[in-house]
Amino acid sequence: MSIDRETVRKVARLARIAMPDEKLDVYAPQIERIMGVVEQLGKVNTDGVEPLASVVENELSLRPDTVTDGNDAASVLSNAPETMEGYFVVPKVVE
Amino acid sequence: MKDDLSCLTIAQALDGLAKKDFTARELTERHIAAGQDAQSLNSYITQTPEIALQQAEESDKRRAAGKAGPIDGIPLAIKDLFCTKGTRTTAASKILHNFVPPYESTVTANLFRDGAVMLGKANLDEFAMGSSNTTSPFGNVLNPWRRRSAPDVPLVPGGSSGGSAAAVAARIAMGATGTDTGGSIRQPAAFCGISGIKPTYGRCSRWGVIAFASSLDQPGVFARSVEDCAILLQSCAGYDPKDSTSANRPVPDWRAALSSGKSVKGLKIGIPKEYRMDGMPADIAALWEKGTVWLKDAGAQIVDITLPHTEYALPTYYIVAPAECSSNLARYDGVRYGLRIEGRDLTDMYEKTRAEGFGAEVTRRIMIGTYVLSSGYYDAYYTKAQKVRRLIRNDFTAAFEQCDAILAPTAPSAAFGIGENQDDPVKMYLNDVFTIPASLAGLPGMSVPAGLDADGLPLGLQIIGKAWDEETVLRVAQEIERAACFTALPGMVSEKAA
C-alpha cells in the first residue's frame, strides 16, 4: 500500500487538520508504514464472521423520558472561546 | 522509612487513620511535601494542594463524627483525563489547555463519595495515545527507576498513564486512577514496579472520562499492592446510567475476597503459546517461567492454551482505536471549549485550531482513523478489523473453557530511555503487544511487579481473567505478589530514606 502526498492531503482535509506541504512529506511515510502493518489482516479468513463493534452484551436501554438536567446555559458556555448573548460565536458562515 | 507516611500502603494508612495514629491532614501534608521534592518527575500537570488539604480536613471531621468512608483521607493522583469539576482537565493536549469542566466524572465522584483526597491531575500521553508519556505538551514524565549500568539516563514511565504510575512508584501518591485502552494502565505499572488493574469493560463508568476509543477505554487504578488496587477499584466501580456501556451488575467485595484466605489451589492457569515471541528478552522469559512455578507451588494447575489470532491483535487495534479516535476527536473544533485559532472562515478556523492543538501522535491517529473510515476503505479496513476482533474474542472464550486465568508478561521490555523507540511509530506500538488482546476482548487484566531485570529495572507479570471475574485476577496477582516478595525501591526513594 503506497500512501502518497495527495492521499495525505485529502485525508487531512477530511479530518479538518491544516497540513502544509512539508508536513505531508513527514506523515506520508509514517502512515504508509502503519498501513503496511495493518495490511496483515488480509491474511485472516473472516468469511461468515460478524463484525464485533462492542464487547458489551446488554441491549441499550432507554432512559425515562423526563428532564433531569439543563437550564444551565452559563455552565455550557463557560469554556467557549467566544460567546454573545448566550450563544457560541463562530466566524460568519452565510455571506 | 517505616515511619514515613508516604511509604505506607493504603490498607496500612486506613488502619493508622482508624487508630488515630495520624490524621488525614498529616497524611496529605506528607504527600504534598513529597510531591514538591519530586517535581523533576513531572508527574502532575496540575497540582491541587489547596483542594487536597480542604478534603483532608473534611475527612478528619467525618472520621471524628464516625462517618468515615471506605477510603476516607487517602491521597490520590487523578489522571488528567478524568473531568474534575472546577479543576482544569487537559487530557495532556494543547487543544484543551484551558478546559475547566463544569461537571465531575463518575469515577472521581465515586472516589470522593468514599473519602478520597485529590493531590493533583497526573500527566499522560496526549489524549492517552502513547506508551511512553513522551507525547504530552506539558513535558515528559520521568520514571523514578534508573538502570544500574546507566543511572544518568532518564527512562520513560510507560504510558499512557505515565504520571499516575510514576507518582505512585515515587511515593508521592498512595494510589492513582488510570485509563487503559490498549495497555495504558498495565504497561506503565510494569515499567514503574507497581500494581495496576484494568477491570472488565463496563465495570467502571466512562462518563466524564475524555474519550479516545470508546469501545476499548476503561478506567482502572494503580497502587503499591494488590490489596490496595482492590480497595480503590471497589470505590471506582459500579453501574452508571450516564454511560450506556456501563454494566448493571453488583460490584463484589474484592478486598474481603482477598482476605478470605482462599488460595489459588485448584485454579487452572493458562499459558498462551503465542505469547512466546521471537526475541523476547531472556529476563522476561525467565520471569514468566518463575511465575508459573510460583503458581504451581501454590497449588494451581498450569495448562497450555492457544490464542491463535494473537499476532493480528496489534493490526486490529491500530484500525479500531484510530477509527474511534478520529470520530471522538472530531468534537475539538474551537467553538465550544478549548483552543481556538482564528481563520478566514469557519473551515479555516477548524483546520488551524486542530493543526495547532493536536500533537504529532494524535494527528497520526486521527489521519489513520479518517483514512480507514473513508469512502471506499471502510469495509476493507474497519469492517475487516471488527471481524478479526470477534475472532480474537472467540480465542479467549475458547481458552477460558480450559483455564480460569491467563498468565503472561505485561510488556516485551523493561522501561526504555526517553527518545528510544521514537524513530518509528510501529516500534512504539509493539510495547502493547501483550496487553492489546485483552483490551480488544474487553477482559480484566492486571500487572503485578514480579522481579528486576539484570539492570535493576522492574518487570511485571500480567494476569488476564474472564469477563467480570476480577476476583480471580486479584487472587492470582496476590499469589504472585506473595511469592515474588517484590520489595525493591526506585533509587530516588531508597536514597531519600538512607
Grid coordinates belonging to B367: 489521519
Which residues of chain A make contact with B337, given a CB cutoff of 8 A?
A: 79-81
Cell 511465575 -> residue: B291
- Which residues, numbered 55 to 84 in chain A, qualify as contacts with chain B under a Cβ-Cβ cut-off of 8 Å? 55-56, 58, 60-61, 63, 72, 75-76, 78-82
Q: Does A24 touch chain B (CB under 8 A)?
A: no
Q: Does A86 touch chain B (CB under 8 A)?
A: no
- CB atoms B247 and A56 under 8 Å: yes
User: Among positive and negative, which fits the CA dihedral B432, B438, B440, B444?
Assistant: negative
* Catalytic-labelled residue, pool B79, B121, B466, B496: B79
The structural domains of chain A, with segments of one domain joined by +, span 5-42
Which pLDDT value is given to residue A57?
76
Q: What is the distance between the alpha carbons of residues B142 and B159, in angstroms, rounded to a whole number?
A: 11
Q: What is the distance between the alpha carbons of residues A32 and A18, in angstroms, rounded to a whole number?
A: 19
- CB of B407 closer than 8 Å to CB of B463: yes
- Which residues, numbered 307 to 336 in chain B, qualify as contacts with chain A under a Cβ-Cβ cut-off of 8 Å? 309, 311-312, 314-316, 318-319, 326, 330, 333-336
Grid coordinates belonging to B98: 484551558
Reported confidence tier of residue B1, pLDDT bands at 50, 70, 90: very low
Q: What is the distance between the alpha carbons of residues B77 and B31, in angstroms, rounded to a whole number?
A: 10
Residue B126 lies in a domain: yes
B53 burial level (CB within 10 Å; 0-12, 13-18, 19+): middle
Q: Strands across the sheet with B175-180, in order?
A: B44-47, B117-122, B75-79, B175-180, B218-223, B195-198, B445-452, B458-465, B405-409, B268-272, B301-305
Q: CA separation (Å) from B464 to A12, B171, B220, B472?
A: 38, 27, 14, 9
Which pLDDT value is given to residue A68?
86
Specify the pairing of strand A83-84 against strand A87-88. antiparallel
Question: B339-359 pLDDT, tens per residue?
Answer: 999 999 999 999 999 999 999
Question: B301-353 pLDDT, tens per residue?
Answer: 999 999 999 999 999 999 999 999 999 999 999 999 999 999 999 999 999 99
Phi-psi region of B448 (alpha: psi -120 to 50; beta: other; left: phi over 0): beta
Q: What chain B residue is nearest to A32 in terms of C-alpha separation?
A: B368
The percent of chain A in helix, strand and coil, each rounded to the nearest 5, is 40, 5, 55
pLDDT at B483 over 60: yes
pLDDT at B366 over 90: yes
Residue B473 lies in a domain: no
Q: Does A54 touch chain B (CB under 8 A)?
A: yes
Q: What is the distance between the alpha carbons of residues B387 and B405, in angstroms, rounded to a whole number?
A: 25
Flag the least confident range among B1-15, B245-259, B275-289: B1-15
Grid coordinates belonging to B298: 501454590
Which residues of chain A make contact with B338, given a CB cutoff of 8 A?
A: 79, 81
Residue B321 lies in a domain: no
Q: Does A31 touch chain B (CB under 8 A)?
A: yes
Which residues of chain B make contact with A55, given a CB cutoff of 8 A?
A: 201-202, 215, 393, 441-442, 467
Residue B45 lies in a domain: yes
Could you tell me which residues are beta bridge partners of residue B218?
Answer: B180
Q: How many CB pairs under 8 A join A and B?
A: 162
Residue B281 lies in a domain: no
pLDDT at B480 over 60: yes
Question: A38-51 pLDDT, tens per residue?
Answer: 999 999 999 999 99
Residue B284 lies in a domain: no
CATH number at B47 reads 3.90.1300.10
Q: What is the distance between the alpha carbons of residues B39 and B370, in angstroms, rounded to a whole number?
A: 38
Grid coordinates belonging to B126: 496526549
Cell 495515545 -> residue: B129
Residue of A10, A23, A54, A69 to mutate, interface with B, max B Cβ within 10 Å: A54
Per-residue DSSP letters for B378-432? HIIIIIHHHHHHHHHHHHHHHHTTT-SEEEEES-SSS--BTTTT-S-HHHHHGGG
**Is B184 in the active site?**
yes
Residue B417 lies in a domain: no
Q: What is the distance between the alpha carbons of residues B450 and B457, in angstroms, rounded to a whole number?
A: 11
Q: CA separation (Å) from B102 to A80, B95, B122, B139?
A: 12, 17, 19, 26
- CB atoms B370 and A11 under 8 Å: yes
Reported confidence tier of residue B3, pLDDT bands at 50, 70, 90: low
Q: Does B247 touch chain A (CB under 8 A)?
A: yes
* Catalytic-labelled residue, pool B105, B160, B164, B326: B160
Grid coordinates belonging to B28: 496529605
* Rounded average pLDDT over B82-96: 98
Closest CA to B112 of B150, B55, B173, B159: B55
Q: What is the distance between the alpha carbons of residues B245 and B399, in angstroms, rounded to a whole number?
A: 25
Q: Does B290 touch chain A (CB under 8 A)?
A: no
* Rounded average pLDDT over B457-470: 98
- CB atoms A11 and B374 under 8 Å: yes
Which residues of chain B make contact with A83, given a CB cutoff of 8 A?
A: none
Closest CA to B232 of B243, B221, B219: B221
* Rounded average pLDDT over B143-159: 97
Q: What is the distance between the alpha carbons of residues B128 and B179, in angstroms, rounded to a whole number?
A: 8
- CB atoms B366 and A15 under 8 Å: yes
pLDDT at B130 over 60: yes
Domain count, chain B: 1
Q: Does B249 touch chain A (CB under 8 A)?
A: no
Q: What is the distance between the alpha carbons of residues B164 and B176, in angstroms, rounded to a whole number?
A: 6
Q: What chain A residue is nearest to B441 in terms of C-alpha separation?
A: A55
Which pLDDT value is given to residue B389?
98
Nearest to A50 among B201, B370, B390 (CB): B390
Which pLDDT value is given to residue A1?
65
* Rounded average pLDDT over B220-238: 98
Q: What is the mean pLDDT of chain B?
A: 96
Residue B121 lies in a domain: yes
- CB atoms A39 and B384 under 8 Å: no
Reported confidence tier of residue A60, pLDDT bands at 50, 70, 90: confident
Reported confidence tier of residue B56, pLDDT bands at 50, 70, 90: very high
User: Among positive and negative, which fits the CA dihedral A74, A79, A82, A88?
Assistant: negative
- CB atoms A93 and B346 under 8 Å: yes
Question: B440-453 pLDDT, tens per residue?
Answer: 999 999 999 999 99
pLDDT at B498 over 70: no
Which residues of chain A make contact with B351, given a CB cutoff of 8 A?
A: 16-18
Q: What is the distance between the alpha carbons of residues B319 and B325, in angstroms, rounded to a whole number?
A: 10
In terms of residue numbers, what domain contains B127? 2-263
